[in-house]
Amino acid sequence: MALKSVSSLRSTLVPRAVLAVTSAALLTATLATGCSSSSSSSNAISENLTGRGPITYVEGKDTTETGAVKQLIDRWNAAHPDEKVTFKEQSSDANQQLDDLKQHMQAKASDYDVVALDVPWTAQFAAKGWIQPLKDSFAIDTSTLLSPPVASATYNGTLYGAPRNTNGGLLFYRKDLAPEPPKTWAEMISMCPKAKEAGIGCYAGQLAPYEGLTVNTAEVINAFGGSFVGPDGKTPTVNTPQAKQGLQTLVDAYKNDDMPKEALSFKEPESQNAFTSGKLMFMRGWPSSFGDAGADASAVKDKFGVAPLPGKDGIGASTLGGYNAAISAFSKNKATALDFLRYLISEDAQHIVAQGGLPSVRASVYDDPALIAKMPYLPALKDSIASAVPRPVTPFYDAVSKAIQDNAFAALQGTKSVDDAIAGMQKGIETAGS
Amino acid sequence: MKSQAPQSNSPKRRGPVLGLTARAWLFVAPVLLALVVVVGYPVVRAVIMSFQKDAGIDKSTGMFVEGGSAGFGNYTHWLLQQCTNSLGETVSCPTGNGGSEFWAAVGVTFFFAVVTVSLEATIGLGMAMIMGKTFKGRALLRAAVLIPWAIPTAVTARLWEFMFQYDGVVNRVFGTHIVWTVEGWPARFAVIIADVWKTTPFMALLILAGLQVIPEDVYEAAKVDGASAWQRFWNITMPLLKPALLVAVLFRTMDALRLYDLPAIMTQDLGATRTISTLVVQQSRSGANSASALSIITFLLIFAVAFVLVKGLGANAVRTQEAQREAH
């Protein structure tokens, strides 16, 4: 009895190992073939320029309470019965949206006409030749739009997308502890003893090792006059005294306990949680945190205000979020698609966008009293976005973002000096894409 | 056993040998074809991709151009940590570039594998010994023990992430102020704890199966001969359990070397817990071809470990049985 089952164990040992190895091979192979690169498609860009007809608009799940995207499309469809727009709603996960878009573009599929691109994806899609440059006969008038969102849609001196909506960081502050919000980092840090008296943390953003850390690091480096890449999207420009000073400010704040120790594990939910439960005096957050901070369950319901982010000598530099709408190079009806882009940045459309809680790309929308009554953060957000800086515009965004994150995190943890971290970012950006 | 095979029972069954083989091949062919398509194609494609450069930017136009053949460039990128800077020179990869993280990731992966598998084998053995005893509520215990194994890994990771949060259970119970998920060693420790919690039941059940087949009379004979509990464990249980234990260890080692979800979910992109698999996934976002090379390297590494385990330990297990058979 014993022998029998033991020997059956033996005979299964080898096939099982083979099975395990095979499944290891499968796992690694599927990972590797998940996405492959394809050549640039310069021909497609010059084709179908005058095509008109129904088109498809592709964007991640519409999470606005007002159903803003549907409203936008309904309004367009009512006016253009022959050139109707169909909304192809993707998942709400940004990585899945990107994968879906990449796969369609690599296949040169014509079923996606206008695509919504998260700001940092735009340069990559442009450099791959997947989206239509908006120049010559395809030029759109961006003179009435806020300039930072336009910059985020510009690669190598050419506009590639219509800014659909934007987003900027805000400083949430405790009115009861700081009657006037700080305008500069130095001012904010000088208020920290008050937080200590109250037994709470002074400042926190999103410093866990993920995309949020890139955003927070970029903000402080930009605020002190630093930058990351040159206009060509490749040449690193981060190794400057300004950038060092910026990162040093952040690192000092952490070292001197002006940030709580656990801030290094904060992503959006954790930082928002800390602020709404009254454990923070200042928080860097997105406008979407406003609702929760003002909700009944919030410990700071009537005790908080919002201001633009602090900078070196005045208002800081927020990192831009938001989406750009671009025309697929493989679209058959590019003329219609172009009209649709122009419509998306129109006054009317931008009002619908703003009512959905998505920050508009038109300055005028921020001055609408009815909207301000509903969203009191709009004036602060307008200032924030006006001085905002897009994330490094580069086709190698993933690699650049990682170089920023890894080095900034090491500097915050104290395993690397600020000088080394900045030099590391410089080298990391230099070798991005290799 | 072998001599009982019913080959020569009746002459009717004896067909033309070649025809039989041909028919056998005919029946097996669809499966083989499916295997080639499903397993072969992706692997071959990954190998081909791994010898191509990732697309790069043409400076004059700012547009991506195909990288062309890379030779062993993608492999030296990982194995020798070589990167290309903007001037096209080969330099050693800086921090933040995947290339600089390969050996660290290999180290972390093997460290996790060795520590978790040893812990799991030891604790699993203990649990199996307890579960093997006869007592009231044994069935309930056996079922309850399986719960961690039944929970999906992603959920396990979330669960432990919450426990290891700064204001989470772990810090409160021990009165510590450790930011578990972002500090190097605490983060590694947290991942190990979660992995051990999740997979020890699996180990325990495999070992229990091995324990159950050891005949009770051997123990009784040993007892009569005056063997102590320790002697019985060391001289009877361990040798007879060895084959089952080795299978369990082999399984778990392979699994541990592919560890992805626990560190990815619990500790984000933290360098200190970056395994080879998390590095592959991260790289596949920025360059599919270099990620392919990394996958191939990973595959060869895991294959080598599996080979060593099967050849070395597996052969050992077989010899033990043969020795037993001779003894009988």
| Per-residue pLDDT band at A134 (split at 50, 70, 90) | very high
The residue-averaged pLDDT of A260-279 equals 92
Pick the closest to residue A220 from A244, A193, A187, A191 (CA basis).
Answer: A244
CATH code, A47-167+320-389:
3.40.190.10
Amino acid at A365: V
d(CA A73, CA A57): 9
Residues of A in contact with B269 (CB under 8 A): 209-210, 402, 405-406
Q: What is the per-residue pLDDT for B322?
A: 57
Q: Is A236 on the interface with B (CB under 8 A)?
A: yes
The residue-averaged pLDDT of A30-46 equals 52
Decide if A119 contacts A392 (C-beta within 8 A): no
Chains A–B, number of C-beta pairs less than 8 Å apart: 250
The shortest C-alpha distance from B36 to chain A (Å) reads 12
| Per-residue pLDDT band at B319 (split at 50, 70, 90) | low
Residues of B in contact with A433 (CB under 8 A): 54, 56-57, 286-287
The residue-averaged pLDDT of A401-409 equals 92
Q: Residues with Cβ < 8 Å from A259, sequence gap 6 or more? A: A201, A202, A203, A204, A207, A253
The residue-averaged pLDDT of A81-94 equals 90
**Which residues 26-55 of B have a C-beta within 8 angstroms of A?**
38-39, 42-43, 45-46, 49-50, 54-55
On the question of pLDDT at A292 being above 70, the answer is yes
Mean pLDDT is lowest, of A54-58, A191-195, B312-316, for: B312-316
Q: What is the per-residue pLDDT for A66?
A: 86
Q: Which residue of A has its CA nearest to B68?
A: A39
Q: What is the per-residue pLDDT for A34?
A: 41
Give the tens place of pLDDT for each residue, A205-228: 999 988 899 999 999 999 999 999
Q: What is the per-residue pLDDT for B142?
A: 83
Decide if A165 contacts A358 (C-beta within 8 A): yes
The residue-averaged pLDDT of B165-183 equals 89
Q: Is B317 left (phi over 0), alpha (psi -120 to 50) or beta?
A: alpha
Q: How far is CA A73 from CA A3, A78, A83, A352, B54, in A?
A: 72, 9, 11, 11, 38
d(CA A174, CA A171): 10
Task: Kindly report the three-state secondary structure assignment for every residue of chain A.
Answer: CHHHHHHHHHHHHHHHHHHHHHHHHHHHHHHHHCCCCCCCCHHHHCCCCCCCCCEEEEECCCCCCCCHHHHHHHHHHHHCCCCCEEEEECCCCHHHHHHHHHHHHHCCCCCCCEEEEEHHHHHHHHHCCCECCCCHHHCCCCCCECHHHHHHCEECCEECCEEEEEECCEEEEECCCCCCCCCEHHHHHHCHHHHHHCCCEEEECCCCCCHHHHHHHHHHHHHCCCCCECCCCCCECCCCHHHHHHHHHHHHHHHCCCCCHHHHHCCHHHHHHHHHCCCEEEEEECCCHHHHHCCCCCCCCCCEEEECCEECCCECCCECEEEEEEEECCCCCHHHHHHHHHHHCCHHHHHHHHHCCCCCCEHHHHHCHHHHHHCCCHHHHHHHHHCCECCCCCCCHHHHHHHHHHHHHHHHHCCCCHHHHHHHHHHHHHCCCC
CATH code, B102-327:
1.10.3720.10
| Per-residue pLDDT band at B4 (split at 50, 70, 90) | very low
Give the tens place of pLDDT for each residue, B237-263: 888 888 888 888 888 998 999 999 999
Decide if A190 contacts A200 (C-beta within 8 A): no
The residue-averaged pLDDT of A329-348 equals 94
d(CA A258, CA B35): 59
The residue-averaged pLDDT of B216-241 equals 89
Mean pLDDT score across all residues of chain A: 87
* Fold of the A169-319+393-433 domain: D-Maltodextrin-Binding Protein; domain 2 (3.40.190)
Give the tens place of pLDDT for each residue, A141-168: 999 999 899 998 999 889 999 999 999 9
Amino acid at A72: L
Query: Which residue do the tokens 């191939």 mark?
Result: B296
d(CA A104, CA B67): 21
**Which residues 112-151 of B have a C-beta within 8 angstroms of A?**
none
On the question of pLDDT at B47 being above 50, the answer is yes
Give the one of B39, B243, B286 whose C-beta lies nearest to A6's C-beta: B243
Query: Which residue do the tokens 């991942």 mark?
Result: B191
The structural domains of chain A, with segments of one domain joined by +, span 47-167+320-389, 169-319+393-433
Q: Using the beta-carbon criterion (under 8 Å), do A433 and B50 form an inter-chain contact? A: no
Residue B11 DSSP class? G
Q: What is the per-residue pLDDT for B5?
A: 45
Q: What percent of chain A has pLDDT over 70?
A: 90
Q: Using the beta-carbon criterion (under 8 Å), do A2 and B215 form an inter-chain contact? A: yes
Q: Using the beta-carbon criterion (under 8 Å), do A262 and B167 form an inter-chain contact? A: yes
The residue-averaged pLDDT of B105-122 equals 95
| Per-residue pLDDT band at A6 (split at 50, 70, 90) | very low
The residue-averaged pLDDT of B79-100 equals 81
Q: Is A204 on the interface with B (CB under 8 A)?
A: no
d(CA A42, CA A130): 9
Q: How far is CA A329 from CA A137, A341, B323, in A?
A: 15, 14, 71
Q: What is the per-residue pLDDT for A202?
A: 95
Q: What is the per-residue pLDDT for A434?
A: 60
On the question of pLDDT at A279 being above 50, the answer is yes
| CB-count exposure of residue B176 (10 Å: 0-12, 13-18, 19+) | exposed
On the question of pLDDT at B15 being above 80, the answer is no
On the question of pLDDT at A80 being above 80, the answer is yes
Q: What is the per-residue pLDDT for B314?
A: 62
Decide if A411 contacts A138 (C-beta within 8 A): no
Amino acid at B141: L
On the question of pLDDT at B23 being above 90, the answer is no
Mean pLDDT score across all residues of chain B: 85
Q: What is the per-residue pLDDT for B18?
A: 58
Q: Is B195 on the interface with A (CB under 8 A)?
A: no
Q: Which residue of B has its CA nearest to A11?
A: B318
Query: Which residue do the tokens 């970056």 mark?
Result: B274
Give the tens place of pLDDT for each residue, A248-257: 999 999 999 9
Give the one of A32, A403, A405 whose C-beta lies nearest to B269's C-beta: A405
Q: What is the per-residue pLDDT for A282?
A: 96
Give the one of A1, A39, A42 whose C-beta lies nearest to B215's C-beta: A1
A48 or B293, which is more confident? B293
pTM for the structure as a whole: 0.82
